[in-house]
Copies of this chain bind each other. A is one copy, B any other.
Amino acid sequence: MNGAESLVRTLLKSDIDTCFANPGTSEMHFVAALDQIPGMHCVLGLQENVVTGMADGYYRIAGKPAATLLHCGPGLANGLGNLHNARRANAGIVNIVGDQATYHRPLDAPLTADTDSLARTVSQWIHTSTRSEDVGHDAALAVRAAKTHPGQIATLILPSDASWKDGGVVAEPLPVPTPPTLDPHVIEQAARMLRNGEKTLILLSGQGILAPAQSLVWSIAQASGAEVMADFMCSHLSRGRGRLQIKRVPYNTDVARETLAPFKNIILVGAKPPVGFFAYPGKPSTQYAPDAQLLTLSRPDQDALAALRMLAEELNVPEVSIPDPGPRPGVPSGEVSSEGLAQAVAALMPERTIVSDESITFGYAFYPHTFAAPAHDWLHLAGGAIGDGLPVATGAAIGANRERRVINLQADGSAMYSLQSLWTQARENLPCTTIILSNRQYSILIGEYENVGATPGKTAMDMLDLGNPDLNWVSLANGMGVEGAVASNLDELCDLMRASFAKPGPFLIELLT
């Protein structure tokens, strides 16, 4: 058995059964092993940022890591943007990066690059297997790292000779470490905060904002009078009927500071202290009140559910059910607006829909207007590196075994970063409905430019405007085998959404906003 075969068999034993791939020559023995050993679903992405973004979306929905297959340092480099986002989303991914043979590397052949340094910028675990005998065991270590709560990026660099040489040994799955224990004193301190009568915020991210934690959070909030909010940076929320009706900390740093100013105490559940996405001249970097007390109830690597349970017990709170959000919105009509799009999504989405939201500026009204939608999952860009919406939607559809509708609310500028995803949606016949929010500019940057205190002139607009020529998203989708149509009002949008939801495969709607 060669190293590559031991790798495939070890991954399968460790319950890794999906591999997002864009292979090259140095991975051919791995490809051959995947071909010969049944059990791995291999999904091709036509550029590596699609590959890594799919693995992120897959993890968020499947709840277990996929493998990626990348080609040398430059192939990894192409996928780093979405690995950055996946790291911020605490996604578990096992990257297999094929590389030059150990003895060939010193000759500095053209594709030779500093694969290790590249991997290190996004990986919590990294290792190079230099002997075929070690590949199986190293793979088991990589899977263990990827599965370690709340999910980590593990990168195994595989020189081609370690892949092709004999001596491979299949490794048994390794036990995944349990999250670091919670400090009972912290639980008591949180309870004291919640009892002291001061205005207190429970700020949620990670596991703390998913369905299993939400009724606990709500019971604690109801009993204590605390408010509840989601961190701006949260990658995955359980939303809709039966779930919390909360808002996120706003993106705009002035509005965020106003929003957070009243709180004397902030209890962080899987969230970090809220800071600005960027710094601005003369404005503070942190968004909480200067005299606010911040308490980390659970770090992202700890068990938020257990922490909330201990806190509820400490406070002895009665269980209360999450309030009803009222009637489901009706189908909207008329001119396109953020509110109208949100209503359309809420009115028409099937049960258990997954929303991949990379709406950037257009999404401001999405949250309040979708509280009364059926229960659904909502995925956000967590790392700020634009271009994850399409591949995350694609990977999420695979993570849900094609059994759930995926609606991708997708800004046009960001969509151009990873439009190749549409081809994979067509090839895999995925139930993905992409709604391109076509405003033909980098709107967020025009706003940021105006914050500098100037109006963009021609040179600036040359860098901020996506018109001239306008992108034709229906042509782009058709070019990759995906049907599409333009909607210029909400009625057309709703007709196209209905038609798309009735069919198993992908569809793209260019919504002129």
Contacts and interface: CB of A to CB of B under 8 A. Distances in A.
Interface stretch (A181-189, A398-406, A447-455): A447-455
Given A24-B445, A108-B272, A445-B28, A103 B279 contact: yes
Interface string A452-467: 1010111110111010
Contacts of A84: 73-74, 77, 113
A389 B118 CA distance: 24
Interface string A100-113: 11011001111101
Interface in A9-63: 21-26, 28-29, 31-32, 34-36, 40, 42-44, 46-47, 49
A248 to B, nearest CB: 13
A179 interface: no
Contact of A277 (B23, B75, B110, B118): B110
Interface residues of A, number: 105
A384 interface: yes
Contacts of A24: 445
A463 B31 contact: yes
8 contacts: A23-B445, A25-B448, A28-B451, A29-B452, A113-B121, A416-B423, A426-B469, A476-B476
Identify the 10 closest CB pairs spanning chains A and B, nearest first: A469-B481, A475-B479, A74-B385, A476-B479, A101-B279, A104-B279, A77-B80, A35-B460, A111-B384, A110-B384
Interface string A229-263: 00001000000000000000000000000000000
B110 A454 contact: no
B451 A417 contact: no
A427 interface: yes
A294 to B, nearest CB: 13
B471 A479 contact: yes
A178 interface: no
B107 A286 contact: yes
Contacts of A81: 74, 77-78
B463 A285 contact: no
A367 interface: no
Number of copies: 2
B109 A277 contact: yes
B279 A383 contact: no
A409 B225 CA distance: 67
B44 A454 contact: no
Contacts of A113: 84, 121-122
Contact of A385 (B104, B111, B120, B462): B111
Nearest to A467: B427
Interface in A187-232: none
Given A46-B416, A111-B383, A419-B419, 7 more contacts: A31-B445, A34-B459, A34-B463, A35-B458, A47-B387, A101-B285, A113-B121
Given A21-B463, A423-B469, A449-B32, A100 B278 contact: yes
Contacts of A471: 423, 479-481
A351 interface: no
Contacts of A110: 88, 233, 277, 382-384
A55 to B, nearest CB: 15
Given A427-B468, A454-B35, A469-B480, A449 B28 contact: yes
Contacts of A313: none
A177 interface: no
A512 to B, nearest CB: 15
A47 to B, nearest CB: 5
Interface in A261-305: 272-273, 275-279, 281, 285-286
A475 B480 CA distance: 9
A23 B463 contact: yes
Interface string A409-451: 0000100110110010011000000000000000011001101
A121 B111 contact: no
A114 interface: yes
Contacts of A47: 387, 416-417
Contacts of A463: 21-23, 31, 34, 42, 44, 69
A262 B464 CA distance: 57
A473 interface: yes
Which of A165, A444, A456, A476 is packed against the most chain B CB atoms within 10 Å?
Answer: A476
Interface in A136-188: 160-161, 164-165
A41 to B, nearest CB: 9
A4 to B, nearest CB: 10
A35 B465 CA distance: 14
Contacts of A468: 427
Contacts of A452: 28-29, 32, 164
Contact of A445 (B25, B417, B460): B25
